[in-house]
Structures are given as structure tokens and as C-alpha cells.
């Protein structure tokens, strides 16, 4: 009787762990084990299917000797830098303006944010059409009388990456706005009142007091947008398909085409590992600080 009771109570004690175990197992396998697996493949000479022969860093050497990968990395830098700068700047500006007690705030917020509900494929399709030099914006402006106007970036290998930036910013700046707005709403109003009583002007209050107080939100925006930038894949595929040529190749599209189109699975795995390391370098410190602060608070 006593033994049975202690068994059932022990089972009850373990029940939560038993229930959480399957999903933990799935995540451990599909996230961590799979990462390891990709890592292993990156050290093999796999082409069409995985072969488990150890060739050391050969694939990484090959990867870094591939001009296309260099383009991809360079593009990632250009894209991320501009994407981050513009999305954060526009997002912050819109959040501050929206926070001025304006009418129809709800409607405007909805307008700025709806692109986030769209698939990048839809965004890419729409912008591809808008940026089409023969029939899109360029033509409209030309017909208005400015006949010299040229906006053919999407077909210009030097400028095509900037069209990805435009579409990306259009889609994601509303996200930055939403986070900044949440941050602004969390700021104690009495701080602003105190500064006003001391005679500070509104722009000064924003520069000196409010924007510095948005630092946690800023950190979140930068980290999350970097993550979006690094994994950007569908947008490029739909907008430019990596072209013209390989002008808008990003590491994500490079990995995909190396693995599934060009039968270079080893190189693909190596590029995936490079991407993972970049993301981890940004995300892990962020998660660490978020979790620690949460536990303290």
C-alpha cells in the first residue's frame, strides 16, 4: 500500500518531465543533431547525396575560393547594413510620430505593418512588377514628363542588390515601428513631464531622454532584423532570382542552389555552417542577456 502510493506519487512528480520530453526530443534531434549532421557533411566530399568520407576543411577552402560566395558575402554586408539602418531609422521615426497622440493611429499602424503579414514571395512578386523598368515606376515618371528618369536597378547588376533592400525595408520597417512603439508606450510619462517642467524642448527630450531609454527595444530590433537579413531567401528568389547573373546572390540562396541545384552538397553544408555561426554570434549573447535580465527582474 505504502510502496504503491509512493510509486504513484513519484510518477506524478515525473509527469511534467515525461510530457515535455517528446517535444524536447524532437527539438534536440531536428535542431541540434541536425546542425551537427550538417557540420559532419561539411567535412565530407558529398555531392549529390551525403558520403561520409572525411576530407577535412576542403569544402570550406573551396567555398572561400568560389567567387559566387564572395559576391554572396559582400551582398550580405551591403544588404544587412542598409536594411538595418533604413528599417531602424524609418521604424523609429514612424513610432515617434505615431506616439504624438494623433488621430487614426490604429489605422496608420495597421497600414505600416500589413506587409509583415505577407509572404516574401508575394512581396518579391509585387516589387518585381513595380521596379520593372519597361512598365513600372520608371515609365510612370517618364510619362509625367521627366523623360530622362531612369530606375532600372533591377536589371543593373551593380544596383540590383539595392532593390532587395527597398523591398526588404518596405516589408520589415513596420516591424521595427511596432517594437519601438511598444517601447515608447512603456516609458513612464512623468519622466517626460519632469523634463518639460525643466524647460527642455520636445526634440531635446527625445534626443537626450527618450531615445536612450529605448535601448532595450533598439537592441531587440537590431538583433531580430539581422536575423531576418541573414536568412533572407524567398525575397531574393522572388524578386531577382539571385540575378542578374549572380548579382544578388546571398549566402542563403547560395547554400540552396549549391545543395539542390549544383550538386555541391559539401560546399552547401559548409556555407550553411558559416551562416549558422554568424547567426549564433549575434543571437546567443542576445538570448543570454535577455534571459539573465528577465531572471533578475
Partner 1 sequence: MANALSQQTQIGDALSQKNRMRLGRLFIYGPLGVMAILYLMPLWVMVVTSLKPLDEIYGGSFIGLPQTVTLDAWRAAWSQACIGTECTGLKPYFVNSLLMVIPAVVLSTAIGAINGYILTKWRFPGANFVFGLLLFGCFLPYQAILIPMARTLGLLGLAGSIPGLIFVHVAYGICFTTLFFRNYFVSLPDELTKAAMVDGAGFFRIFWSVILPTSIPIIVVSCIWQFTQIWNDFLFGVSFTSGGNSPITVALNNIVNVTTGRKQYNVDMAAAMIAAIPTLLVYIVAGRYFVRGLTAGAVKG
Partner 2 sequence: MSTLEIDRVRKTYGNLEVLKEVSISIGTGDFLVLLGPSGCGKSTLLNMIAGLENISGGEVRIAGKVVNELSPKDRDIAMVFQSYALYPTMTVRQNIEFGMKIRGIPPAHREKAVRAAADLLQIAHLLDRKPSQLSGGQRQRVAMGRAIVRQPKLFLFDEPLSNLDAKLRVDMRTEIKRLHARLGTTIVYVTHDQIEAMTLATRVAVMKGGVVQQLDEPQTVYDRPANVYVARFVGSPSMNIIPGKIEIEGGSATAVIEVANRQAARIPGINLSSQAASKYANGKVLIGIRPEMFSVGNGQTQGAISVDVDVVEPTGPDTLAVFQLGGVEVTARLPPKQVSARTSATLAVETSKVVLFDPDSEKLIN
Taking the least distance from each CB to partner 2, the nearer of 15 and 140 is 15
Q: Measure the CA–CA gap between 58 and 235, rounded to whole angstroms.
A: 31
CB 246 within 8 A of CB 225: no
| Residue 201 interacts with which of partner 2, partner 1, none, CB < 5 to 8 Å by class | none
Q: How far is the CB of 107 from partner 1 (least distance, A)?
A: 8
Between CA 18 and CA 191, with CA 290 as vertex, the angle to 5 degrees is 135
For 273, the grid coordinates are: 555552417
- DSSP-H helix ranges across the chain: 2-27, 34-42, 58-64, 67-98, 105-113, 120-130, 137-143, 160-185, 189-197, 202-205, 211-213, 215-231, 234-239, 251-260, 265-296
Q: How far is the CB of 29 from partner 1 (least distance, A)?
A: 8
CB 59 within 8 A of CB 39: no
CB 42 within 8 A of CB 269: yes
Q: List the interface residues with partner 1, window 132-151 (CB under 8 A).
A: 132, 135-137, 139-140, 143
- The answer to the question of residue 194 lying near partner 1 (CB under 8 A) is no
Q: List the interface residues with partner 1, window 10-29 (CB under 8 A).
A: 12, 15-17, 19-20, 23-24, 26-28
Among the listed residues 7, 48, 52, 260, the single contact to partner 1 using CB under 8 A: 260
Q: List the interface residues with partner 1, window 44-73 (CB under 8 A).
A: 50
Taking the least distance from each CB to partner 1, the nearer of 67 and 106 is 106
| Residue 121 interacts with which of partner 1, partner 2, none, CB < 5 to 8 Å by class | partner 1
The pattern of x and - marking residues 238 through 257 that bind partner 1 according to CB under 8 A reads x--x---------xx--xx-
Amino acid at each position: 500500500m505504502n510502496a504503491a502510493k509512493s510509486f504513484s506519487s513519484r510518477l506524478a512528480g515525473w509527469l511534467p518531465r515525461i510530457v515535455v520530453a517528446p517535444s524536447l526530443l524532437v527539438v534536440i534531434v531536428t535542431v541540434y543533431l541536425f546542425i551537427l549532421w550538417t557540420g559532419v557533411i561539411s567535412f565530407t566530399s558529398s555531392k549529390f547525396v551525403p558520403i561520409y568520407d572525411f576530407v577535412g576543411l576542403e569544402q570550406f577552402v573551396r567555398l572561400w575560393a568560389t567567387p559566387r560566395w564572395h559576391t554572396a558575402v559582400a551582398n550580405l554586408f551591403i544588404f544587412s547594413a542598409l536594411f538595418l539602418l533604413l528599417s531602424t531609422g524609418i521604424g523609429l521615426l514612424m513610432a515617434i510620430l505615431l506616439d504624438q497622440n494623433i488621430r487614426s493611429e490604429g489605422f496608420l499602424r495597421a497600414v505600416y505593418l500589413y506587409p509583415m503579414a505577407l509572404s516574401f514571395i508575394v512581396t518579391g512578386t509585387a516589387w518585381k512588377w513595380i521596379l520593372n523598368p519597361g512598365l513600372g515606376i520608371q515609365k510612370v515618371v517618364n510619362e509625367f514628363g521627366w523623360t530622362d528618369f531612369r530606375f532600372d536597378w533591377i536589371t543593373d547588376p551593380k544596383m540590383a542588390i539595392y532593390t532587395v533592400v527597398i523591398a526588404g525595408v518596405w516589408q520589415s520597417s513596420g516591424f521595427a515601428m511596432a517594437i519601438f512603439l511598444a517601447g515608447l508606450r512603456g516609458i513612464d510619462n512623468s519622466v517626460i513631464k519632469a523634463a518639460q517642467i525643466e524647460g527642455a524642448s520636445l526634440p531635446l527630450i527625445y534626443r537626450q531622454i527618450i531615445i536612450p531609454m529605448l535601448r532595450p527595444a533598439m537592441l531587440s530590433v537590431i538583433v531580430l532584423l539581422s536575423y531576418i537579413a541573414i536568412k533572407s531567401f524567398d525575397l531574393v528568389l522572388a524578386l531577382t532570382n539571385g540575378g542578374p547573373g549572380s548579382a544578388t546572390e546571398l549566402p542563403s540562396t547560395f547554400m540552396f542552389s549549391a545543395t539542390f541545384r549544383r550538386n555541391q552538397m559539401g560546399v552547401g553544408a559548409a556555407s550553411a555552417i558559416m551562416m549558422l555561426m554568424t547567426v549564433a554570434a549575434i543571437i546567443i549573447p542576445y538570448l543570454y542577456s535577455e534571459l539573465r535580465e528577465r531572471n533578475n527582474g
